[in-house]
A and B are shown apart, each in its own frame.
Chain A
């Protein structure tokens, strides 16, 4: 059994759209608040754990090193861990094992995100999350994959947008009581969400938590130190994390198995056998409204496809049977990525001490779960926390108290003295390797090649040299048909930097015939947007032989197999987004 580790303090900056403060300064604000909350000085801290999402936001390579002094880490053992959007919750796991290993007694965990530095739009940092050879040439952006997953989730369980939008309403209303919140709105309605601009159907503007700046810090301590520091430690009872395959187009996006795996690991460690009875408050990850529902199911708190119904019945409201995101979540408090994840841990800390004030959930909660998610819809990080049934405080004020960070308007930001403009002017020439090299040669010859694994019997698209499930070399090559099925799709109305598109783009995950689950990302064309359906049969449209160069773009797009569905793409009304409200 692992040694006991507790959270004993928490602090955060205000979450703002564009902070005047640098990333270091935001980290300093959060770290100082966290230490002050448990009356500790930096000298009392043995080690510092840091997290932050893509380096491209801050425009600094090795940004862990760069942020060290702001996080209070000078001359201390200090390390940055990173699992994409899952990072914020993961840094509490990092803090846990740093203390539980016996190598430190008191640690500070800091999560920083300064997204606004990345121009012309922070989404630019996500253009390079896609496969360098097979996906990036298609020009995918982050909205595409969320839209593809949301569509698949809705289609799998027969949900409509109203089922989803209620989550955004609940969380933005909850956040009205959070002093650090960017997006709290007590009077928002489902109609507001359903009436907001369509970005990439089914994703609308108010389904999304926009880019933000901010930092959060917590203090963690060994059992002895925790008992010395506070009467009301909140114990880390279980931790779990799990990463699924890179080949996201090969999995069913309707259900996050990796979140379930992470949850089972954390529940197992916490001795939680019946999460629905033993968890009293949850902070699931909610960068998009459907994600909260998706994750509540992955956390085994609701049956698959049933979280929307529970939300409609008020179960997940702050005064419901299982309050979810009482903080207001990412949709309400804001989404400085890594910081937003650790904010959830801070919220459980306050809730389980009875200190959440106006946000306090009713009754005497003993145990909560926080979860974050990220990468190519691929990673789950889960922490179970509990107060051991200890007495709760009765706070009248809501923490964090007077959180700082100075918000700049777009105009103030652009006219600030000394703004430094730099470009990440790096160049890469990736070796495609044996497997993808052969796939590219095949595309030039108008062939779609796959590899096979005789151990699990799968035909692998995209082809690889090794089977990731059996962890052995693949056995041979085969050619698969140029036809397939649309697994999920989106109708995109804006570009990655939120400029309107005259003609919508229709990205889709295509499952190729002759494979059990193999497929890839591509575009659908020669079709009216309204006619595209999940399950639609499509065929590849190839470039002429002389124009094929050995690229995923040798396939121009996929079109409906049924000739009567084929037509010229119709222009749609452009979606205009003012810079101050664009996600």
Chain B
């Protein structure tokens, strides 16, 4: 696979919300706030300086069919190229990288948000992602799939439930100093889908992240660059997927490392999917990062600390990684996402400063 000679930089970052609810603020207003701060950070006017806009969302999550109808105004994207990527925000980052490398855009805004507090029946939304004929009639919660997968993963790897509990405790401790974290203080070992407990499960939050990505020429000196992206998935059917490992994250990571020309040993900071505590350990294995020092993994507190931001989880991880690299804490960072049950889709971005 060809290394990415044309580099894509992060010119601006912005966010809003990151709380359990954002009462009184509409999703449009939430997006407007995040977009304004990203454009200010990048020093750009979206009406003239951004060539393309990528929003990552799913209709049923929003309660609106064809949700891209409702995005352009609050992003400064009216009468401009706008598209939906029906996936997690890191897939949007990969899309922005492709748009810039193809030459069709030199600056792209990537947006994803969660307004989970608008959805009264989140569990039913997730359930509707299950196979309609074979799985849904069984009436089992999609989150039970995480319990099944955790059990299998413990069995195959010989790791323990207490290691998973340690991940949850550590991430929530990391979250204590993160102003975006709303769930730093959850300590509840109640089993939900045994062996999965409540404290090992990320809980919903509202928030929006906007990134401005640019060509190397348009990226200010000293910025963070997205040097590798990868994305993949496993079998959609629950019955035929690989239950022993995070196969899609492995493939996504391989592609991202190759494109960035780095090896796992070069990574100094990782913000990885931890929407369930065992997934952090499983994902670190898939990324080849099991030996990375504990304080270098999800120093933000991850989704366990910040909350589950639905399709914005990947951008939340990317945001924390970019901030870490900007602060000088690390030179090479990695952000990884997984779309959550019952999906197998995963994406990886390798970044350098």
Contact = CB atoms under 8 A, between A and B. Distances in A.
Contacts of A3: 102-103
B72 interface: yes
Interface in B80-121: 80-87, 91, 94-95, 97-104, 115, 117-121
Given A54-B66, A243-B72, A465-B32, A426 B60 contact: yes
Contact of A245 (B26, B78, B231): B78
Contacts of B125: 61, 426
B118 A60 contact: no
A68 interface: yes
Contacts of A379: 68, 82
Contact of A428 (B63, B98, B100, B126): B63
B232 A425 contact: no
Given A74-B235, A434-B25, A261 B104 contact: no
Contact of A430 (B26, B79, B259): B26
A257 interface: yes
A101 B93 CA distance: 13
Contact of A243 (B25, B32, B80, B120): B80
A269 to B, nearest CB: 7
Interface stretch (B155-163, B272-280, B323-331, B338-346): B338-346
A78 interface: yes
Interface stretch (B128-136, B175-183, B208-216): B128-136
Contact of A426 (B72, B81, B128): B128
Interface string A421-442: 0101111111111111100000
Nearest to B240: A69
A425 B339 contact: no
A404 B121 CA distance: 39
A246 B128 contact: no
Nearest to A260: B79
Interface in A23-81: 53-56, 59-69, 73-81
A413 interface: no
B69 A62 contact: no
Contacts of A242: 79-82
A468 B82 CA distance: 14
Report the contact-size class of chain B (Cβ under 8 Å from the partner): 35 or more
Given A65-B233, A469-B78, A84 B68 contact: yes
B95 to A, nearest CB: 7
B45 A129 contact: no
A18 B102 CA distance: 39
B203 to A, nearest CB: 18
Given A62-B58, A65-B233, A428-B120, A247 B73 contact: yes
A424 B103 contact: no
A437 B65 contact: no
Contact of A81 (B72, B83, B102, B126): B83
Contact of A77 (B47, B102, B118, B230): B230
A138 interface: no
Contact of A61 (B58, B77, B85, B234): B58
Nearest to B127: A61
A83 B68 contact: yes
A84 B87 contact: no
A258 B79 contact: yes
Contacts of B32: 465-466
A76 B247 CA distance: 11
Given A75-B233, A103-B98, A430-B118, A132 B63 contact: yes
A391 B100 CA distance: 34
B119 A466 contact: no
A378 B67 CA distance: 12
A413 to B, nearest CB: 15
A411 to B, nearest CB: 21
Contacts of B85: 79-82
A239 interface: yes
Contacts of A101: 97-102
A245 B84 contact: no
Contact of B119 (A2, A56, A98, A426): A426
Contact of A75 (B6, B66, B97, B232): B232
Interface string B21-50: 011111111001000000000000111000
B191 interface: no
A468 B58 CA distance: 23
B2 interface: yes
Given A61-B126, A101-B102, A431-B22, A246 B69 contact: yes
Interface of B: 2, 4-6, 22-29, 32, 45-47, 58-61, 63-66, 68-74, 76-87, 91, 94-95, 97-104, 115, 117-121, 124-126, 128-129, 131-133, 136-137, 229-237, 247-248, 251, 255, 259, 339, 343-345
Interface of A: 1-3, 53-56, 59-69, 73-84, 90, 96-98, 100-103, 125-129, 131-132, 239-247, 257-258, 261-262, 265, 269, 374-376, 378-379, 418, 420, 422, 424-437, 464-466, 468-471
List the 10 closest A-B pairs by CB distance, nearest first.
Answer: A433-B26, A468-B73, A100-B102, A428-B63, A101-B98, A101-B101, A471-B76, A427-B120, A243-B82, A61-B128
